Amino acid sequence: MGIRASKSQTVIGISGGWLWAPRAHRGRAASFFLGLCFLLVPDASAQRTELKPGWNKFSPQEDINLGKRAATDAEKQLPPCNAPKVDAYLTQLGTRLAQKLPTGGVQYPFEFHCVNDKAINAFALPGGYVFVNRGAIEAADDEAQLAGVMAHELSHVALRHGTNQATKAMLAETGLGIFGAVFGDTTGGALLTQLGSFTAGGVLLRYSRTAESQADVMGTQVLYDTGYDPRAMAQFFEKLEAETKGKNPPEFFSDHPNPEHRVGRVDEEVEKLGGVPPNAKRDSAEFEAIKREVLALPVVKKPVPGAPRAVAAPAPPSRNLSEYQASWYALKYPDNWRKYADSSGGGISFAPEGGVVDDGSGHSALAYGLIIGVEQAKGDPNDGNAVNSATQRVIHDLQKSNPSMKITRQGERLRLNGQPGLSTYLSNASPAGGQETDWVITVLRPEGLLYFVCVAPQSAYDNYDKTFSSILDSVRFTR
């Protein structure tokens, strides 16, 4: 069922509370007493731009948990370089840079991976999971330029840009449709923390130009503090731009949009740091050896975009049940399913691990599980017409977000906890591939039309039918 959370995937660029305070403005009393010292010994570092992470709903530990899950997914989806020497080199270079990274005291478990992808790109997931494409290593002229790209990525980690973006995305989603209401929160919330799918990583990696500029500035500081030529990062970006003028821009710029005056801003920071140190490091024999090794790696063909992904079927539903208690009804569901709450309080979903998948276009969709929601409706619960017309509205809304959804068995009467209800079967394209069966049960209550949508691929539906029935049998109205 295409539970399209497209709106929630749209990150709205609310430029967010970042601090750009030159350190010199801190502590007036101190500068009063030390003013003379500054005059005698100009301290370049006193002028550097101080950057801090913006407003964030997640804790640094959540960054790590979330990033780890997303990294596990990324590792499954991206071809590795399979070159231990290259990985070791990236780890050694990355660790040196990370040691100079201002993380505000947070210990991130940095990891560095080489990806066998010719596209010039690199990305870092929250918590410090850095992926560098072979293309980026091949495009770098020297070690300082590669260090520049990595310092930029590490700065996104330290500035917690990924979860800051997710926080904004969560804030920005309002007024989604019924399924948006159920799944609207999941991209930034439950799904992100519980599934951490690499798709959810789409939100984590969509940086604003402001974030880019901040990563440039901090990356430049890290280069400087590690002894590299601090201009190297901007020079690499400039080179990428010049080489691709009029052609397809490198992938890097789609994940990391080019901020205005990129090079100018970096040069300004280099000035604040006191200029380029005379002994600044540019290259190493090791980098050149690694680059040669990378250039010789076999090329891995990319999968065709849009091709349906093979999705592993989730584990069968457990026979042990957990209890779920809403304000006016209760039910039991398999204890190996997870609960996905809706932020507005109107709905809830239950799905096994692996039951929520990427529908192939970067959106999260429920392929296995149960969605519960409430449609505004009034009327006598025993009035068949009232139930019918409210049910039609729910199905119409479903079809709006799932254009290939068709009714296969029209509404049949049934009872749910003694209350009259309606059962409708539909078929739809499954995000797991092939067709799916959607069993919709609706009951009119004083609170509105309560609907249950039981979802499973047609090929697996028989294995879920019994589970759906026992969940519905367990429904109790408590008011």
By the criterion CB under 5 A, which residues form the site for Zn ion? Answer: 212, 215, 256
- Shortest reach from residue 156's CB to Zn ion, in Å: 6
Inter-helix orientation angle 84-98/143-158, to 10° = 60
Minimal distance, residue 161 CB to Zn ion, in Å: 8
Write down the least CB distance from residue 384 to Zn ion, Å: 58
**Which CB, 256 or 363, lies closer to Zn ion?**
256
User: Is residue 208 classed as helix, strand or coil in its secondary structure?
Assistant: coil
With tokens 């947070």, the residue in question is: 106
Q: How far apart are CA 218 and CA 369, in angstroms?
A: 44
**Virtual torsion, Cα 142, 145, 150, 155, nearest 10 deg:** 150
Q: How far is the CB of 449 from Zn ion (least distance, A)?
A: 46
Instruction: Find how far residue 326's CA is from the centre of its chain.
Output: 29
- Residues in Cβ contact with 164 at an 8 Å cutoff, skipping those fewer than 6 apart: 16, 53, 54, 55, 56, 211
- Say which residue the tokens 């398999």 belong to: 334
- Cα separation, 97 vs 114, whole angstroms: 17
Cα distance between residue 161 and residue 5, in whole Å: 21
**Least gap, CB of 256 to Zn ion (angstroms):** 3
Structure tokens at 130: 């850095």
Tell me how far, at minimum, the Cβ of 231 lies from Zn ion, in Å.
17
* In the complex, least distance from residue 5 CB atom to Zn ion, rounded to whole angstroms: 24
Q: How far is the CB of 376 from Zn ion (least distance, A)?
A: 43
- CB nearer Zn ion, residue 148 or residue 431: 148
Taking each helix axis as running N to C, give the angle between helix 143-158 and helix 285-295, from 0 to 180 degrees, rounded to the nearest 10.
90
Nearer to Zn ion, 212 or 375 (CB): 212
Q: Which residue is nearest to Zn ion (CB)?
A: 256
* Separation CA 303–CA 311 (nearest Å): 15
83 three-class SS:
coil
Which residue, 217 or 456, is less far from Zn ion as judged by CB? 217
* 78 or 130: CB nearest Zn ion: 130
| Nearer CB in complex with Zn ion: 210/336 | 210
Nearest approach in angstroms of CB 299 to Zn ion is 26
Residue 104 falls in which region: left (phi positive, over 0), alpha (psi -120 to 50) or beta? left
Name the residue nearer to Zn ion (CB basis): 9 or 121. Answer: 121
Query: Which two structure tokens, joined as six digits, stand for 229?
Result: 């030529």
Residue 18 beta carbon to Zn ion: minimum distance, rounded to whole angstroms:
14
- Tokens for 167? 């926080």
For residue 150 the two structure tokens come to 């990595």
Q: Which of 104, 100, 97 is nearest to 112 (CA)?
A: 97
Q: What angle do CA 145, 150, 156 make, to 5 degrees?
A: 135
Q: Which of 194, 168, 178 is nearest to 356 (CA)?
A: 194
Shorter beta-carbon distance to Zn ion: residue 74 or 178: 74
Q: Which is nearer to Zn ion, 198 or 237 (CB)?
A: 237
Shorter beta-carbon distance to Zn ion: residue 140 or 387? 140
Burial of 65 (0-12, 13-18, 19+ CB in 10 A): middle
**Direct distance between the N- and C-terminal alpha carbons of the chain, in angstroms, rounded to an integer:** 31
User: C-beta of 212: minimal distance to Zn ion in Å?
Assistant: 5
Nearer to Zn ion, 135 or 457 (CB): 135
Each residue of 84-102: b (16+ CB within 10 Å) or e? eebbebbbebbeebbeebb
Q: How far is the CB of 94 from Zn ion (least distance, A)?
A: 16
Nearer to Zn ion by Cβ, of 69 and 256: the residue is: 256
